[in-house]
């Protein structure tokens, strides 16, 4: 399976108000392994970045002034993405910006070039409800080092997200859990399934059973009747008859 982990940097937060893409970083995963076939480009947006965005990515107008315009890299980007499953953190943001860029060039929308989109932010919220699920938070949670990340960069963030995604989905070779799919070894060969360890059952001793009954007697006395445990076990015994 060919997957592309994608991230962008932009001049601001809203493509509808004229904000533009200034950097695209893509990392290719082939059968859940980094292939090294990456795509990266800085882009001249022909406008300044907003102050807040500049503080995040640090890509100045001067630095971007001699970089290619989006029209110059669009065909190469579309060819690179063609048919791949794309992994993005907070996908609506990046896809919205890319759709706006494609629209300016009368190119079909982003989803028409790719084989599907996985939003790792949505997935993380499902797996870790109520917790912080930013890329930095996920790096901490899954032990992915981001110590070298002082500013946001599209390629660096895509590389980090690729590691996070592999950690999030470790133990499965597809987006759906298929127990019939064989595991692959580090060399890419199908490995033999490991036998399950023997389940050890420890029976309670006579002394432990006596202590348990004494505890239940005390509970019966406190509730002035039959405690919940004895009521449940009686129901279970009746159901098995």
List the catalytic residues.
152
CA distance 28 to 31: 10
CA distances from residue 132 to 57, 121, 126, 227 in whole angstroms, order as listed: 21, 10, 12, 42
CA distance 181 to 50: 48
As a residue count, the chain comes to 241
Question: DSSP alpha helices (H): ranges in 105-205?
Answer: 120-127, 135-142, 154-168
CA distance 81 to 25: 12
CA distance 170 to 138: 14
């Amino acid at each position: 399976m060919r997957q592309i982990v994608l991230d962008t940097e932009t001049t601001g937060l809203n493509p509808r108000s004229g904000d533009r893409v200034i950097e695209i970083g893509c990392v290719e995963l082939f059968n859940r392994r980094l292939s090294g076939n990456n795509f990266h480009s800085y882009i001249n947006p022909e406008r300044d970045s907003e102050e807040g965005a500049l503080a995040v990515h640090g890509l100045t107008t001067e630095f971007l002034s001699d970089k290619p315009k989006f029209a110059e890299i669009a065909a190469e980007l579309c060819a690179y993405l063609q048919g791949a499953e794309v992994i993005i953190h907070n996908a609506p943001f990046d896809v919205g910006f890319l759709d706006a860029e494609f629209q300016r060039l009368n190119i079909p929308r982003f989803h028409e070039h790719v084989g599907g989109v996985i939003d790792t932010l949505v997935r993380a919220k499902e797996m870790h409800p109520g917790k912080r699920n930013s890329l930095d938070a996920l790096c901490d949670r899954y032990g992915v080092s981001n110590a070298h990340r002082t500013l946001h960069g599209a390629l660096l963030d895509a590389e980090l997200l690729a590691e996070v995604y592999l950690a999030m989905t470790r133990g499965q070779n597809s987006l759906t859990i298929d127990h019939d799919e064989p595991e692959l070894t580090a060399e890419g060969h199908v490995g033999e399934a490991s036998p399950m360890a023997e389940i050890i059952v420890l029976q309670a001793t006579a002394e432990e059973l006596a202590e348990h009954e004494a505890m239940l007697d005390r509970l019966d006395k406190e509730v002035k009747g039959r405690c919940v445990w004895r009521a449940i076990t009686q129901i279970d015994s009746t159901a098995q008859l």
